Structure 1
């Protein structure tokens, strides 16, 4: 079931990426590599058979892993993961007075399907560089008991190749455009494997079976080789040049500024009067080109402010049309917080920067 889920996640990511025309720059796009390390918290193990039928506890251990993956630019990622985890025996039930020792080491190769959850794209919430993710994985594991003892007088040793699966939940933080730090939790489990219990019930080695369940917390770093290319919206069509007027038209006002409330794109009563003046100037000067450019202050991310500036330009255009200016004569654009009327530091609420400029040509 986990194999099917991982395949569906990866397959859906490919199809959705091919259907997209714009790549969200917050999502991983293209190849990446990663490495992580952390703690391994092995569940209690109870072998079955070979005389080793008792419960054992293991010390908290360590895990190291590396990944090679591909991001599809839409939140989905597929990756190949190699890992090794190791834990020492702490105690075995019923072995009071007998020395305990040995360890369990597990090598694994997993195929993972993951999905990054962008709060800005999905919910309109500023992420400040943080992005949660979830995923599942399936693959191969080789648990190896290194003389784990004492299980009712027996020592468990040996290795076996088994099917493994895992669930992943974590959060990443972008420290640079192509570098992310990942904090992850994994639940890692395997099918039951067969190992050797010695000396065994008959005095010789006998098989014993057990599965592995492990919980890990890791901190890692991921390097993405390609920065996502954001598709540019097509430029507005350029209207044909107006015919030459029979006589020089009287000079009219050609530039207007409309101001907005913080984080708003609504047209106020004062702004409506300015837009009406611009509409009157269009008719008085026989002008046929109107450029509306939206701006913001410096509060919030560049991406959020770009979208807000475009909304402000669109709101002014809608009011111009309502005042009788033909839609075909108006072009709009947004420049976010990149062209300030009043220069300020980042995250400063400056009313004069929250504006839209109307230029008549």
Structure 2
């Protein structure tokens, strides 16, 4: 296969990459089946002064696998490839008569990984995946022959057998779960090869009156682009869309700030608490949350205690202004919920606060 064809095959897959969306594809979990059809290129074989080229053929794959819910999948696969003999050149002399077909069967064990991206276009999720496999490959050259001007020719009459096979896989799965739960369309590229294939046959040069037996080995490398499907059996169906719940009444929040490492109330803090107490009586709030916070200086344990002291100080002032304590929820969060995220050891005034939320 030429470099131009390889570039085209990879470019075809790259063109499937859409703009990122907001929905994430659900990872395959449990049993699934997959299959695909496409074009296959068998790479040229050169040996000495001989060069063999093959027409673009076709390939088909079918697999049964298991997804572990974390992006990893294992599967068993059977594949078939077929390419017709195209041209044969010996000593720069082009054959004027060629024929024959190369057929291949692969029995592979694959490991794949679905890369989580969060890409989606119009509700169709897009997940790339990569993987590889090893197994056994059967190769057969059926009726391989070539003739030359002046009478030279060769014929391969024994070019079949099983050998070690390996492959690399890369592709994209387009999830159609909003239409058929568990169904994905796939577009993928594959590099498939076996160890060198032994062959034997007969050869007759232009000057010879009789044929002679020949034997040798040839490399076997293939590249393919396929489209297909994958169906995961136990994908949950989308939950029915529930009717929208009535919007809750908006909560009102008042912020009371504190000096560093202090839990006593400033004059401004008392003004804010008085405003919160007035609003609580006006809007007839059903729940009042008083939550203390601290900045990220000091230990977690110390800041937890400090945030509770701050919340208790605000609650006491609310009680003094007529709010029953049993209508309040009082708690401290230490420095776990900063208003302004900072590194440890940073004194941030906005994180030294108590939030009064009226619901």
Please classify the TM superposition score into its range, dividing by the shorter chain length. Answer: 0.5 to 0.7
Q: Which residue of 1 aligns with 2:172?
A: 171
Change (3 A) 1:323 1:227: farther
Change (3 A) 1:25 1:171: closer
Structure with more of its chain in strand, by fraction: 2
Higher deviation after alignment, 162-171 or 92-101: 92-101
Q: Which residue of 1 aligns with 2:320?
A: none
Separation in structure 2 between the aligned mates of residue 160 and residue 74 of structure 1, nearest angstrom = 38
TM-score of the superposed pair, with normalisation by structure 1: 0.56
Q: Which residue of 2 aligns with 1:224?
A: 232
Separation in structure 1 between the aligned mates of residue 34 and residue 114 of structure 2, nearest angstrom = 16
Change (3 A) 1:68 1:321: farther
Q: Which residue of 1 aligns with 2:331?
A: 326
Question: Which of 109, 119, 128 is matched with 1:111 structurally?
Answer: 109
Q: Which residue of 2 aligns with 1:256?
A: 250
Change (3 A) 1:97 1:323: same
Any idea what SS the aligned residue of 1:32 has? strand
Q: Name the Cα RMSD after superposition.
A: 4.1
Separation in structure 2 between the aligned mates of residue 278 and residue 109 of structure 1, nearest angstrom = 76
Q: CA deviation at 1:203?
A: 3.6
Contact 2:61–2:78 (CA under 8 A) maintained in structure 1: yes
Contact 1:279–1:323 (CA under 8 A) maintained in structure 2: no
Q: Which residue of 1 aligns with 2:37?
A: 37
Question: Which of 41, 57, 64 is matched with 1:61 structurally?
Answer: 57
Q: Which residue of 2 aligns with 1:197?
A: 201
Separation in structure 1 between the aligned mates of residue 358 and residue 156 of structure 2, nearest angstrom = 82
Q: Which residue of 2 aligns with 1:70?
A: 66
Question: Which of 129, 136, 151 is matched with 1:133 structurally?
Answer: 129
Q: Which residue of 1 aligns with 2:265?
A: none
Q: CA deviation at 1:58?
A: 0.4
Say which one has the larger Rg. 2
Q: Which residue of 2 aligns with 1:185?
A: 189
Q: Which residue of 2 aligns with 1:7?
A: none
Separation in structure 2 between the aligned mates of residue 289 and residue 140 of structure 1, nearest angstrom = 70
Contact 1:73–1:228 (CA under 8 A) maintained in structure 2: no
Separation in structure 2 between the aligned mates of residue 69 and residue 139 of structure 1, nearest angstrom = 15
Q: Which residue of 1 aligns with 2:79?
A: 83
Say yes or no: does 1:102 pair with 2:100.
Answer: yes
